[in-house]
Amino acid sequence: MSLKLTSLVAQIISWITAVLSIYYIYILLYLRKGWQKIPIHTPYTSKDVKTKVSVLIAARNEADNISKTIEAVIAQNYPKELFELIVVDDHSTDNTSLIIASYADRGVRLIQLNEREKLNSYKKKAISKAIAVAKGELMVATDADCYMGDNWLRSIVTLYEQKGYKLISSPVLYYQEKNYFERLQALEFLYLIGLGAASIGINKPSTCNGANLAYRRDVFYELGGFQGIDDLASGDDELFLHKVAEKYPAGIGFCKAREAVVFTEAKENLRAFIRQRKRWASKSTRYKNKAIVVLGVSIWLFNVMILLNAILSLFFHEFGYILLFSLFAKIGVELLFLLPLTGFVNRKKLLFNLPLLSMLHVLYIIYIGIAGNTGKYYWKGRMVK
């Protein structure tokens, strides 16, 4: 390659990288404001709640976890006559259904899926079955491997009663990390939860997590439930969020309360982590709001350019300057975004892991952006798409 051509290519790549870096800085600072716009919610205890709630759990082969989750739900500081717990066993091959059934005398209702024809979306089917028999006004979904404090339900419902939201997303966090890999996951997961919350704060809902999601039963049926998104295994959370946002753009809230946090555990190894993230990424091309898709593609390209500059800097030193600029921009703005989030959950020590995580994130984003939107993946022992 001639010196002149090399210089031209370097300039083009540098300009693209610089523009994408500045765009990334702008987006995260804008989203940081979105997080700050959401007021801290303090669940009231001075007066009674009045909303009847149905807590929904879809479980498959969760014999090791389901008892802890059920115990946490039935221990809620919420009037017993105003909430019910419905657990759907999704063709478990272990003792999950027997454990759930053992709680029948404490008001826990068990439903067992018996679908003979192969489905691609067993979880959506399970949730739909539960909602069909639910008696509550507000559906509150969580997962079978989660834990929550005693005021979890009260936090969500008091926000619902104050604001009248159609759908409420609430925080999910990793806890009890056993090693450095899981601590990295905890910070990365907090970043994702923060992005979803912040997008709600700027009235442009993008993501949420099905482990802590509440919505009105009548709205679920008004929008046709999961119809139109039931061909994907995942998406009972984000894709349904987008259905609600399309009809009720101002009807979505985020419960910014420590009492509303649901806790779950990080993935035990890289293989399980990649499978989970591929599943999450598989929903992105089905987003109704194409502006969110464009944003995701732009961030993916930003990470591609960082990697390209890193490779080229091994041969041409001029690419090293823009590489350093983009990396410092990425780490710096992510620090600014994560500071209030880690403060909210009292986990600022996780920020010491940010420089390494931010660099590893480049490779992760590039790979997941491709793998998550092509082919199939394993989920709960099944090959799905």
Asked if residues 121 and 226 have their Cβ atoms less than 8 Å apart, the reply is yes
Q: What is d(CA 125, CA 5) in angstroms, rounded to the nearest whole number? A: 57
The pLDDT value recorded for residue 279 is 82
Q: What is d(CA 76, CA 54) in angstroms, rounded to the nearest whole number? A: 13
Q: Residue 6: which pLDDT band, with cuts at 50, 70 and 90?
A: low
Asked if residues 217 and 140 have their Cβ atoms less than 8 Å apart, the reply is no
Domain ranges of the chain: 3-37+290-384, 53-171+212-266
The pLDDT value recorded for residue 232 is 78
Sign of torsion over alpha carbons 232, 233, 239, 240: positive
- In the predicted model, what is the mean pLDDT of residues 310-335? 92
Q: Is the pLDDT of residue 285 over 70?
A: no
Sorted by sequence, the CB contacts under 8 Å of residue 313 that are 6+ apart come out as 319, 320, 323
Whole-number Cα distances in Å, 166 to 98, 140, 160, 217, 245? 34, 12, 8, 9, 9
Q: Is the pLDDT of residue 33 over 90?
A: yes
Question: Residue 287, class by beta-carbon neighbours within 10 Å (0-12 exposed, 13-18 middle, 19+ buried)?
Answer: buried
How big is the chain, counted in residues?
385
Of the candidates 246, 256, 39, which has an alpha carbon nearest to the alpha carbon of residue 168?
256
pTM (whole model) above 0.85: yes
Q: Is the pLDDT of residue 59 over 70?
A: yes
Which homologous superfamily does the CATH classification assign to the domain defined by 53-171+212-266? Spore Coat Polysaccharide Biosynthesis Protein SpsA; Chain A (3.90.550.10)
Q: What percent of the chain has pLDDT over 90?
A: 76
The pLDDT value recorded for residue 381 is 65
Q: What is the pLDDT of residues 98-123, one digit of tens each?
A: 999 999 999 999 999 987 767 668 89
